[in-house]
Amino acid sequence: MSGDNDPTQWLEPPNLPAPGALLVDAHDRIGEFRGEWCGLWSLRPVTGGTEWTVNPADVRPASPQQRLRAENSRANARSRGERL
């Protein structure tokens, strides 16, 4: 048997970012990667809040400037005592 009907041959595992990696979606929202479910990725706002799902094709890694801005926003929210 050649294994032509083996479904694992057809599917390649997605290249998932590390948990907490900063990504930018198609609407220029920056979020932390939280995980994958049913082919969609979950992102969470850096300063806390409700997660949202995105298509992996519609996200890109945050630029150094975007990462710095997001980390600064998180530090400011923490200093104000906001729940993250």
Q: The tokens 């390649």 sit on which residue?
A: 12
Q: Residue 39 falls within a domain, yes or no?
A: yes
Range of the domain at 25: 19-79
Q: The tokens 């082919």 sit on which residue?
A: 39
Confidence (pTM) = 0.76
Q: Residue 10 falls within a domain, yes or no?
A: no
User: Mean pLDDT lowest for which of 6-10, 29-33, 62-66, 78-82?
Assistant: 6-10
What domain count does the chain have? 1
User: Helices marked H in the chain — which ranges?
Assistant: 7-10, 64-79
Inter-residue contact 22 to 62 (CB < 8 Å): yes
Q: Residue 14 falls within a domain, yes or no?
A: no
Give 31-76 pLDDT, tens digit per residue. 999 999 999 999 999 998 899 999 999 999 999 999 999 999 999 9
